[in-house]
Structure 1
Amino acid sequence: MCAFPRSGKKRCSRWNNQPVERSAGVILTLPRELREVLLLRLVVGFSVEDAAGALGVSHGAVRVRQHRALARLKER
């Protein structure tokens, strides 16, 4: 899974070796609030500030949700 942030730099996660179907399936099992943050940050490439604005939550909430989502994915 790679993100193309506004800076134009390509960033890829450590799960890049896994088939896309498996990664997508695991992400879909996350609770909505965690899934939304992860998709906005890593797939769409939103900054913390942009994701917070889109979701109507604080910057801190975005950071916490992203951390929790990644921790859950790491467990699987």
Structure 2
Amino acid sequence: MSRRDNAGDNAPMESFFKTLKVERIYQVRYETRAQARLDIVDWIEGYDNRERLHTSNGFLTPVAYEAAMIAA
């Protein structure tokens, strides 16, 4: 939840949900909510965390960035 009078607080989550909607949700027709939930979790864990490069951490995947921070 955003702190009062801090509009930039939600920017990372808004960016994430925009990417999720554009790259996944609007591209697939789901028969059930359960099917949608499973597909979204698979997308987040499989693609967004392991393959997609993120600008906020030097164009690394979150998994690679975390490994680099642990090794440092």
Shorter-chain TM-score tier? 0.3 to 0.5
Per the normalisation by structure 2, the TM-score is: 0.35
- Rg (Cα) greater in structure: 2
Per the normalisation by structure 1, the TM-score is: 0.33
